[in-house]
Structure 1
Amino acid sequence: MATETRLGWQQLFLILTVLPCCRTLEVSIPQQQYKVSKGEDITLTCSFITTRPDFSLLVIRWSSYFQDNPDEPMQRIATFYTDNLVDIVPEYENRVRLEVDVDKCISTLHLTKVTMQESRSFHCSVLIPTDDEGITSATTSLLVLEPPSRPLCTIQGKAEYGQDITLTCKSEEGSPKPSYEWNSYSVQNMPRPFPPKTTEVNGSLSLFNISQETSGFFVCTSTNEVASTSCNLTLAVVPASMNIGSTAGIIGGVLAGLLCLVLLIFCCCRKKDQKEQNAEGSPEDMDFHDKDAPEAGEQYRDYTSEAKPQVYQDKAVSHNSYSDLHNHHGGSCDRLVYNQYLN
C-alpha cells in the first residue's frame, strides 16, 4: 500500500511540473460566426493566453479575406503595437476602432455601418517574440444580412400548345442568398398542383408539353432569414396559329395586299379617263382643214379669188339686162331674166 501511494504522488508531481513547461500561446475567438444587418454596427472579440506574461513586445493584427476566394490576398484592417499604438488602414479609418486590454489579453474590433463588403472572414493574429509557438491566430466569419430584392420573373420559350417552357425567378440582392419557391393557381385563382414532370431548381420552374390547362397564374417567392418578397406571372397558352407575332404578320400581309389592289384600281381608272379625254379632244387641240384643199403634190389654186369677180360681173350684167328688159318689154320678161339669173 505504501508503495502504491508513493507512485501516485510521483505521477502527480510529474504532471504538475511538466505541464507548465508544455503550455504555449493560444488565440481564440468566442464565436465562429457573427451576424449583423446591413448598415448596423458589430463588435468582434479576440482573446489570447500566453506563457510569458512579462512580454515586452506585443503585436495584434486584424485582417479579412473572402472565404470563397482563397487566392485573394488577406486585407489588413488594423494593427495594435505595444504602448497603445494603433494603425488603421485608410479604407477603414472612419469606420473601425481597435481596442486592446493587455492585462486581460483581449482585443476588440469595432465595425460601424457595415456594408456588404464586410460579409467575409476576419482573422486575428497575436505576435509575442518570446512566445511564438502554439495557436497564434484565430478566424471567424461575419455575415451581413440583407433582405432579398424583388425578384424578376420571366418566361423562356413559346407559350404554345405542346411546347416546353421555363419560368425563371431571381433576386439581384439578398444576404444570405435567398431561396425560391413557385406556386401555381388556375384561371379561377384556385391553388393547384404542378403538371406532371415539372421540375423546380434554384428558382427555375420547367414545364413540359404545355396545354390550355397549363394557363393560369404563377407566383415565385424569394426568401432569406431577413425577409421575403415575390413576383408573379400570367401564363396564357395558345395554339401556334394564334401566336401574336404570326397574327400580326398575317394582318400586315392582308393590309399590304389591299393597299396594292386599291392602287392598281386607281391607276386603271385614271388611265381609262385619260384615254376618253384624248378620244373626245378639246377645241384648242382640234385641226381644221379646207375640204377643197389640194391633194398632196397638187398646186394650190385660189378658186375664191377667181370666182368672185366672175360672180359679181354676171350679177351686174344680169341685173342691168333685167332692168332693160323690164323697161322695154315689161313684166313678161321677168320670168326669163330670173331664170337666167339663177342659172
Structure 2
Amino acid sequence: QIPWPQPSWEMHFTFMGFGSSPPMGLSSALLEVHVGQTSVSTIQGQRVVLPIWYTSRSQRIPYVSWVFGRPGANRLQILTYMDGTVKVQETYLKNRTGFVYSMPDFNISIAINNTQEMDSGEYMCTVNIVDDDTISGKNIGLLNLTVLVPPSPPMCQLHGKPYLGGNVTMSCKSAFSKPSPKYSWQRTAPNTQVFFAPTQDLAQGTLMLRNLSKDMSGVYVCTAANIAGSSKCNITLEVNSPLSAAVIAGAVVGSLIGVGLMILFVLQMFIYRNKKKDAQEEMANEIKEDAVAPKTLSWAKSSGSDIVSKNGTLSSVHTPRGYKPPYIHPRSQTLTPTPSVSSQSLPLYFPPSTNGAQLQAPQQELTGHQGLTTSTLTRMGAVPVMVPAQSQAGSLV
C-alpha cells in the first residue's frame, strides 16, 4: 500500500509593490511533488508500482506528465493526464503501463506490468496547476527503476581427460544475468561433497579436480544464483583407467578402419565389374568389325557361260537352254576357277607366249578337272578370270 501523506498547507504572500503591506486576500498554496521511494527494484516478469503524489490547495485539474529515460538514449513521454483525459503514448510500454488510481487524484503513481530488463532507467513525473505556484524543482519527482533478471540456464563443460591420476576442470557459465551470478559446485548423493576456494572459483564458475581416483566419479551440479533467482546444470564424471580408455579408442579406430575397408572393397568390385563389362562389349564390337559377309558379283549370277571369242579374249555370252558343250581333252589348256577373296580384287591369268603364234580360243564351254563344268563351278562360287590374248605381232589384245 502506497503511503498517502497528510497535506501540509502553507500561505505564501507576495509583495508586488502595492505599498508597505501585502494586499488582502492575495495568497497561493505551494505545489509540491513527493516521491515515496527514489529507487525501486523488481524481478523481470513481475508488476511494479512507481509511488508518487503531490500536494496543493488548488481545486483545479492538474497537468501530469510521466517521462522515461535510459543512459545514452532520448527521453520518451509515456503517459499524460491533461484536461481530464489520460493518454498513453505510442511506446513499447503502451500496453503495460497506466495510473494506479482513477484520475484526477492526488496520488499519481503508475504501475508497469510484466516488467522487462529494458524497463530499467529513470522515470520523471512533472505536475503543473494553473493557479498554483511552486518552488523551483519541487513540482518534479524522480525515481530509478531496476529490473533484476535471474541467471539463464548455465552450460556445464568438462575440460581434460578423466583418467586415473589425471586432472580435469569443470566450467559453468550463464549467458545472461542481472546482476552477475555467483557459481557454486557440489557433488550429489551418495557421495555428497561441497567445494571451496581455491578448488572452485565463485566468479568464474570453474571447479578443478586433481589426481583423479575412482571414488571421484559421480554427478557434479553447478548452481548460478543472484538475488533474482538461480539456475542449474550438471556433469557426470566417470574416471577410467588409461588401459580401458586405450581399448575404447582402439575399438573405435578399428571400427572406422573396418567400415573404410568395406567401402573400399565395394568400390573395387563395382569398378571391376564395369571394366569387365566394357571389355566384353569392346571384344564383341571387334568381332563384328572383322566378320565380312560374302558377296556374289552380279555378273556371276547370270545363266550364261564364259567362252573365248574369236579374237582370243574371254567374253560373257548367253547360253541357250539345252546347249551341251563338246568334250575337250583334259590335256588342253583349261580356265582354272579361282575362289573369290574379295569383291574388289580379281587375279589375272597370263598364258605363256608361243613365239608369236596366236592362240585359238576354244569355242565351247570348258570342262575342269574331274568333269566339272563352268556352270557347276559358278554355283560353287568360282570366279571366272579374264585372260588377255596376244595378237600375231605379240601385243596384248
Name the TM-score, length of structure 2 as normaliser: 0.45
Change (3 A) 1:87 1:245: farther
Report if aligned partners of 2:185, 2:200 keep a CA contact under 8 Å in 1: no
Residue in 2 that maps onto 1:95: 96
CA contact (8 A) 1:24 1:133 kept: no
User: CA offset at residue 39 of structure 1?
Assistant: 5.0
Structure 2 vs 1, CA of residues 137 and 195 (structure 1 numbering), >3 Å: closer, same or farther? closer
Q: Do the aligned partners of residues 96 and 236 (structure 1) sit closer, same or farther apart at CA in structure 2, a change above 3 Å counting? A: same
User: Letter of the aligned partner of 2:79 in structure 1?
Assistant: A
Deviations 1:202-247 (A, max 9, x none): 3612315452354332112244556544322112244667269954
Distance 1:171 1:218, change over 3 A: farther
1:165 aligns with 2:176: no
1:111-126 equivalent positions in 2, closer than 5 A? 111-126=112-127
Aligned: 1:45 with 2:51: yes
Matched, 1:251 2:254: yes
Structure 1 segment 124-143 matched on structure 2, within 5 A: 124-127=125-128, 130-131=133-134, 133-143=136-146
Q: Which has the higher contact order (CA 8 A, sep 6+)?
A: 1
- 8 A contact 2:53–2:107 mirrored in 1: yes
Q: 2: distance between equivalents of 1:153 and 1:131? A: 59
Counterpart of 1:79 in 2: which secondary structure?
A: strand
Shift of 1:170: 2.5
Alignment match, 1:153: 156
Contact 2:222 2:233 survives alignment (8 Å): yes
Contact (CA 8 Å) 2:181, 2:203: kept in 1 or not?
A: no
Structure-1 residue corresponding to 2:219: 217
Shift of 1:109: 1.4
Gaps of 5+ in 2: 1-9, 16-28, 267-397
Partner of 1:295: none
Aligned partners of 2:86 and 2:254: how far apart in 1? 77
Corresponding residue for 2:185? 182
Separation in 1, partners of 2:141, 2:156: 43
Tell me the distance in 1 between the aligned counterparts of 2:135 and 2:80: 18
* Fraction of identical pairs, as percent: 22
Note the C-alpha offset of 1:165. Answer: 2.0
Report the Cα distance in structure 1 between the residues aligned to 2:111 and 2:197, rounded to whole angstroms.
54
Partner of 2:280: none
Contact 1:33 1:140 in 2 (8 A): yes
RMSD: 4.7
**Aligned partners of 1:158 and 1:169: how far apart in 2?**
20
1:174-209, Cα deviation, whole Å (9 max, x unpaired): 666654321125xx7312354984132336123154
Helix, strand or coil at the partner of 2:72: coil
Q: Which position in structure 2 is the counterpart of 1:3?
A: none
The SS at the match of 2:109 is strand
1: CA distance between counterparts of 2:11 and 2:47?
46
Q: Following TM superposition, by how much is the alpha carbon of 1:79 offset from its aligned partner in structure 2, in angstroms?
A: 1.9
Distance, in Å, in 2 between the alignment partners of 1:195 and 1:238 is: 25
Structure 1 residue runs of 5 or longer lacking an equivalent are 1-15, 264-343
Q: Aligned pair in 2 of structure 1 residues 200, 86: CA closer, same or farther (>3 Å)?
A: same
Looking at structure 2, the residues matched to 25 and 207 of structure 1 have their Cα atoms a distance apart, in angstroms, of: 63
Q: Which amino acid aligns with 1:155?
A: L
State the one-letter code of the partner of 2:33: V
Q: Secondary structure at the match of 1:155?
A: strand
**1:61–1:126 CA contact under 8 A, matched in 2:** yes
> Aligned-pair distance for 1:148?
5.2
The Cα of 1:142 is off from its aligned counterpart by 3.9
Structure 1 pair 97/195, CA: closer, same or farther in 2 (3 Å)?
closer
Structure 2 counterpart of 1:27: 33
Q: C-alpha deviations, 1:101-120, integer Å up to 9, x for none?
A: 66x64312133444454344
Q: Secondary structure at the match of 1:107?
A: coil
Equivalence for 1:230: 232
User: What is the DSSP-based 3-state SS (H/G/I as helix, E as strand, rest coil) of the residue aligned with 1:251?
Assistant: helix
Deviations 1:143-162 (A, max 9, x none): 55666554432224444554
Q: Residue deviations 1:58-98, cap 9 Å, x none? A: 542212344xxx212233211223x2233311234433323
* Higher fraction of helix: 1
| Cα distance in structure 1, aligned partners of 2:196 and 2:55 | 62
